[in-house]
């Protein structure tokens, strides 16, 4: 689920956008300034991908962002992890500072790109992989493809291969309505980007908003510039349209994780709840199913745990970054 989905979900299920709560204290905004410019651009075979790493350590923590988001989405967490070990964020093809690709960001394509990126940049394993939402599916596929390289997983509201079907059933078809609206919104924003966004226009507010409110002036300006480009919206649309392919790819790989340390973090606040109103039976059914799905992922490892994070929505590292930081440090302590 991306920031576009959480905003649109309000219209269907009367939820609140978890991305809108991504407001950062001044100190965190200042720390985010380093993410406002490209760092290492690595040629992976005719196009370049962006990588930013800091910190030192035997184990490298690699972050993957939710749908439609670049590596800067982790600006509240990566600097804190870099105090303990090397921590790397990257931008999937067509997002952030990475070149677009002539293919969509399916899980397998992302894993192939990421492996070439890490290899080309000389970032050797072992890795602890961290992913939110669609990024959570990508890092699971990476762990299945390269089991010797991955020594731990932190899955933040991770995508599951059967999630769409199961949540749609639990929500009595409402998830399908939300997803249809996301598709419509993305196409609307691509058309607006192709024409060019006018400052203060309705299209700009609907598609870009004011990222400075969340990221601070410098990083906010970079986010606004990136999300104003047609290439960004093409990549976002392609990525979104290919989610069912990514689900099939994850399903093909699905098997137990063995004794791999795995922490699954689950939202404590529903993005579909009506603020100030009692939880509806429909909302409870969907949230119970979401928690059950993520518990099943954690149970795939003999060292897997699931943790519900009170006060956090789908983008837990936005609302409660300390919970994600603690989970990563916990997994790092278990790495052999």
- pLDDT of 99 over the 80 cut: yes
User: Taking 80 as the threshold, does the pLDDT of residue 326 lie above it?
Assistant: yes
Q: Considering the chain, what percentage of its residues have pLDDT values greater than 70?
A: 90
Please state the domain count of the chain: 1
Write down the pLDDT at residue 133. Answer: 96
Q: What is the pTM of this model?
A: 0.92
CA distance 276 to 267: 18
What pLDDT shows up at residue 29?
Answer: 56
Residue 238 has pLDDT above 80, yes or no: yes
Q: What is the pLDDT of residue 105?
A: 96
Q: Which helix (H) or strand (E) holds 241?
A: helix 230-241
Q: Is the pLDDT of residue 8 over 60?
A: no
pLDDT, position 30 = 65
Question: Quick one: average pLDDT of 252-270?
Answer: 97
Higher model confidence: residue 28 or residue 303? 303
What is the tens place of the pLDDT at every residue in 208-225? 999 999 899 999 999 999
pLDDT score, position 22: 47
pLDDT band at 227 (very low <50, low <70, confident <90, very high): very high
E strand or H helix at 286, and its extent? helix 281-298
Q: Is the pLDDT of residue 11 over 90?
A: no
With tokens 């579909």, the residue in question is: 272
Mean pLDDT of 114-123: 98
Q: Which two tokens stand for residue 35?
A: 């993410």
- 12-to-5, 36, 173, 219, 279 alpha-carbon distances in Å: 11, 34, 11, 31, 15
Q: Rounded to the nearest 10 degrees, how much is the dihedral formed by the CA atoms of 159, 289, 157, 296?
A: -70
Q: Are 85 and 58 in contact (CB under 8 A)?
A: yes
Q: What is the 3-state secondary structure (H, E, C) of 84-96?
A: CCEEEEECCCCCC
pLDDT at 306: 98
Residue 67 token pair: 């749908």
What pLDDT is recorded for position 12?
39
User: What pLDDT, on a 0 to 100 scale, did the predictor assign at position 32?
Assistant: 81
pLDDT of residue 274: 82
Residue 96's pLDDT band (cuts 50, 70, 90): very high
- C-alpha dihedral sign at 7, 8, 13, 14: positive
3-class secondary-structure state, position 252: helix
| Domain CATH for 151 | 3.40.50.1820
Averaged pLDDT of the chain: 91
Residue 186 reports pLDDT greater than 80: yes
pLDDT(199) > 50: yes
Q: What six digits make up the tokens of 216?
A: 């601070």
What confidence category does residue 253 fall into, taking pLDDT thresholds of 50, 70 and 90? Answer: very high
How many angstroms separate the CA atoms of 288 and 167, rounded? 10
The 10s digit of each residue's pLDDT in 68-90 is: 999 999 999 999 999 999 999 99
Q: By residue range, what is the domain housing residue 246?
A: 3-334
pLDDT class of 19 with cuts at 50, 70, 90: very low
* Model confidence band, residue 273 (pLDDT cutoffs 50, 70, 90): confident
The candidate with the shortest Cα–Cα distance to 113, out of 183, 152, 62, 37, is 62
What does the pLDDT read at residue 129? Answer: 98
């Amino acid at each position: 689920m991306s920031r576009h989905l959480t905003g649109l979900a309000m219209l269907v299920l009367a939820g609140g956008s978890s991305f809108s709560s991504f407001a950062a204290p001044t100190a965190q905004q200042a720390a985010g300034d380093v993410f406002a410019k490209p760092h290492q651009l690595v040629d992976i075979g005719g196009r370049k991908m962006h990588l930013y790493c800091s910190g030192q350590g035997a184990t490298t923590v690699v972050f993957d962002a939710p749908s439609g988001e670049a590596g800067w989405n982790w600006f509240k967490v990566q600097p804190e992890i870099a105090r303990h070990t090397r921590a790397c964020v990257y931008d999937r093809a067509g997002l952030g500072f990475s070149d677009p690709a002539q293919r969509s960001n399916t899980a397998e394509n992302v894993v192939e790109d990421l492996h070439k990126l890490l290899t080309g940049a000389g970032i050797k394993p072992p890795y602890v992989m961290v992913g939110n939402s669609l990024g959570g599916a990508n890092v699971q596929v990476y762990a299945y493809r390269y089991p010797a390289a991955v020594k731990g997983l932190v899955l933040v509201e991770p995508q599951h291969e059967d999630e769409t079907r199961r949540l749609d059933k639990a929500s009595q078809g409402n998830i399908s309505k939300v997803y249809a609206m996301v598709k419509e919104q993305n196409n609307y924003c691509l058309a607006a980007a192709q024409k060019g966004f006018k400052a203060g226009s309705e299209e700009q507010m609907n598609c870009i908003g004011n990222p400075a409110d969340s990221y601070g002036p410098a990083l906010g300006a970079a986010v606004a510039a990136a999300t104003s480009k047609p290439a960004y919206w093409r990549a976002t649309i392609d990525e979104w349209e290919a989610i069912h392919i990514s689900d099939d790819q994850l399903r093909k790989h699905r098997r137990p994780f063995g004794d791999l340390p795995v922490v699954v973090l689950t939202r404590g606040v529903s993005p579909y709840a009506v603020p100030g109103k009692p939880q509806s039976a429909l909302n409870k059914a969907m949230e119970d199913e979401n928690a059950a799905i993520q518990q099943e992922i954690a149970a795939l490892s003999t060292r897997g745990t699931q943790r519900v994070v009170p006060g956090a929505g789908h983008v837990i590292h936005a609302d409660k970054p300390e919970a994600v930081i603690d989970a990563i440090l916990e997994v790092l302590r278990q790495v052999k």
